[in-house]
Structure 1
Amino acid sequence: MTLILTSCWSDRHRVCCRIVIETGRIRAWPRRQRPMDALLTIAVTVVVLGAPVVTNQLGDVSAAGWAILVIACGAVYFRRAAPLTVTVITLVCSTTYLIMPDPDGPVVLTFAIAIYTLMATGRLASGILIGAVAVVASFYGEYSTDQENLGDLGVVFFAGWLITVMAVGGAVHSRRAYLREVDERTRQSEANREEELRRRTTEERLRIARELHDVLGHTISLINVQASAALHRMPRDPDQAVEALTTIKQSSHEALQELRTTLGVLRQVDEAVPTAPAPSLAHVPELISRLESAGFETDTDIEGEPPESLPPAVDLAGYRIVQEALTNVTRHSGASAVTVRIRYGDDVQLNIIDDGRGGDPERPGGSGVIGMKERAASVGGRLEAGPGPEGGFVVQAWLPLRGQE
């Protein structure tokens, strides 16, 4: 097997690394791991090459034996970059040296380190196959001839020792994989949390914007109509002008109260908590009364009684839809009369009809219609709006009594 070594520089991480091409696969060899590999290689070399010196067998090792020992020890340095190649090399070197007439030594230690690394890097199938070959070869070498090398106990010990090394390597791989999975789940959970926070923030912003539009749009439209009426009537009928100005004062006061309620979540710490009840369909007559004070002819028809189980979200959505429909009447339609019908049954049905111009079919009522549709959809209902068959503009909404939570 050929090892092709080259070097690269990562501008992003500022890490000098070495790339080793091993049987078609490219593995990164970070610089921070090489000192540890160098120290391990030196330690193994001292043990393997120093054994003949300690046992006074230095002269019994042949030149070929020394070469094999050096190759096996040197291969350990590349165990992280090319674990499979190093395992095969150390196995061949260990087997070759042990069958030579040279004195036995701990060269098999290089093979043990290599196969541990192979298992720890996740190549379990290759590691198990090579380990099985080594165990079978040791038994074959011991019992295929009459010469005793390791003995019965030695062969069993070698097999058990090698299996233990492989098991430790596999356990290290499993532990690393588990930690990687936990880390990935943690990152994914953090990303999901941030995404959920962004979604909730966006929904809250839309809700506040919709509330502000509904509250201010309706009241300011009435104030505008009343102010125009007061200016028009002031020279001829001061009493009606005073009535219009009184209505303006009351409407602006109510608008200010609703605005404070809507922005309650943004209040300062020392502000009192809003205690006013939320708007509901029961307050629709007040909207009609304001419209009448602005000079519009109104017709209100309420069929049935609101059930006790009417969800607050549906009640509020219905009120806001009626409020926005009446706001569009004062803003866009040029109408002089409006009819409001509310029917309580299996659902809440709303009909707001005016006698104005009918609006633009392509953009009926402007962005207010979009807001009304969003209101209806938020509780599981639906809304239709557009020019009526006999003129004017028609808003129809169906709100289920069991709205979305």
Structure 2
Amino acid sequence: MRRDLHDGLGPSLASLVLRLGAIQSRTEPVERDALIVETREEVRAAIAEVRRLVDDLRPPAIDEVGLLEAIRQRAVALSGAVAFEVTGPPAPPLPAAVEVAAFRIASEAMTNAARHSGASRCLVGVELTGTFELTVSDNGRGATPDAHPGVGWASMRERAAELGGSCTITSRPGGGLIVRAVLPLGQDEPVEIDA
């Protein structure tokens, strides 16, 4: 986020200050009005960037419909050649960091299944014991021996590790991949699930 603010939003706002100075110095109304129109568009772009940064912090769908339904919505958005099935119990309130990490890991794993696996089916399962457990498995090609894990795989692992959890990515017998993330809930007692 620091990079996004420094490299994106910072220069945009600095440019707006310069443009406002240019507007103030113009005496010709047509010239001034043209600069105002351009400035208005730059402000709109800066607002869109702020919204993107805020959404990256915590996807709004989690608050609007809950974690499991937010994962389902993402699966629907990715559906096409791959049929997604999302299962799990309704989740009680979870730590915000767990919800965001779980959503991001699920999104990345589903995106990989849709774009790279050649899969026709992808199962996403959520379980709550004393931890939050997410499993995303597809029936695609799986990892080839010469495959070089990309940024997405590293990102999923890092998100889990930041919370003291783990994320493993393994080949599935018969083809496909299994992404399994285990995220601690920061409590000693198992989470109670309403049936």
Common fold by TM > 0.5? yes
| Aligned partner letter, 2:75 | I
Secondary structure, aligned partner of 2:60: coil
Contact residue 386 and residue 393 of structure 1 kept, 8 A: yes
Q: What is the correspondence of 1:3-402 to structure 2 with a 5 Å cutoff? A: 204-205=2-3, 260-264=50-54, 277=60, 279=62, 281-282=67-68, 283-292=70-79, 294-302=80-88, 304-308=89-93, 310-361=94-145, 363=147, 365-402=149-186
Q: Take 2:97 and 2:155, find their aligned partners in 1: how far apart are those partners?
A: 15
1:263 partner SS: helix
Q: Cα offset for 1:386? A: 2.2
| Cα deviation digits, residues 172-227 of structure 1 (max 9, x gap) | xxxxxxxxxxxxxxxxxxxxxxxxxxxxxxx844xx6xxxxxxxxxxxxxxxxxxx
Q: For residues 83 and 131 of structure 2, what CA distance do their matches in structure 1 show?
A: 28
Deviation string 1:104-151 (CA, Å, 9 cap, x unpaired) is: xxxxxxxxxxxxxxxxxxxxxxxxxxxxxxxxxxxxxxxxxxxxxxxx
The one-letter amino acid paired with 1:382 is S
Structure 1 regions of 5+ residues with no counterpart? 1-202, 209-256, 265-273
Instruction: Give me the whole-angstrom Cα distance separating, in 1, the residues matched to 2:168 and 2:60.
Output: 29
SS of 2:123's partner is: strand
- Taking structure 1 as reference, are residues 325 and 204 closer, same or farther at Cα in structure 2, changes over 3 Å only? same
Q: Aligned letter for 1:340?
A: V
Structure 1 stretches of 4+ with a deviation exceeding 6 A read none
> For the Cα contact (< 8 Å) 1:328–1:365, is it kept in 2?
no
Percent pairwise identity: 35
SS of the aligned residue for 1:325 comes to helix
- The answer for the alignment partner of 1:142 in structure 2 is none
Structure 2: 5+ residue runs without aligned partners? 5-46, 188-195
Cα distance in 2 for residues equivalent to 1:392 and 1:327? 14
Deviations 1:47-83 (A, max 9, x none): xxxxxxxxxxxxxxxxxxxxxxxxxxxxxxxxxxxxx
Shift of 1:296: 1.8
1:286, 1:331 → 2: CA distance?
17
Structure possessing the higher radius of gyration over alpha carbons: 1
SS of alignment partner, residue 90 of structure 2:
coil
Q: Distance in 1 between matches of 2:127 and 2:102?
A: 11
Quick check: 1:373–1:383 contact (8 Å CA) kept in 2? Answer: yes
Q: Please report how far the alpha carbon of residue 384 of structure 1 lies from its aligned counterpart in structure 2 after TM superposition.
A: 0.2
Q: 1:348 to 1:295 in 2, by over 3 A?
A: same
Deviations 1:342-392 (A, max 9, x none): 111211101101111102345465221100001101111100002112211
- Larger relative helix fraction: 1
Task: Give secondary structure in 1 for the equivalent of 2:144.
Answer: coil
For the residues of structure 1 that align with 2:58 and 2:98, how far apart are their CA atoms?
Answer: 20
Q: Of the two structures, which has the highest relative contact order with CA contacts closer than 8 Å and spacing of 6 or more?
A: 2
Aligned-residue CA RMSD in angstroms? 3.2
- The alpha-carbon distance between structure 1 residues 340 and 288, as it changes in their structure 2 partners (threshold 3 A), is same
Task: Assess if the C-alpha contact under 8 Å between 1:364 and 1:385 holds in 2.
Answer: no
Task: Quote the offset at 1:299 in angstroms.
Answer: 2.2
Report the equivalent of 2:16.
Answer: none
- After superposition, give the CA deviation of every residue in 1:146-183 in whole Å (9 maximum; x if it has no partner): xxxxxxxxxxxxxxxxxxxxxxxxxxxxxxxxxxxxxx
| Offset of residue 291 of structure 1 | 2.6
Q: Distance in 1 between matches of 2:136 and 2:171?
A: 12
Cα distance, 1:335–1:370 mapped onto 2, change above 3 Å: same
Partner amino acid, structure 2, of 1:300: V
| SS class of match (1:287) | helix
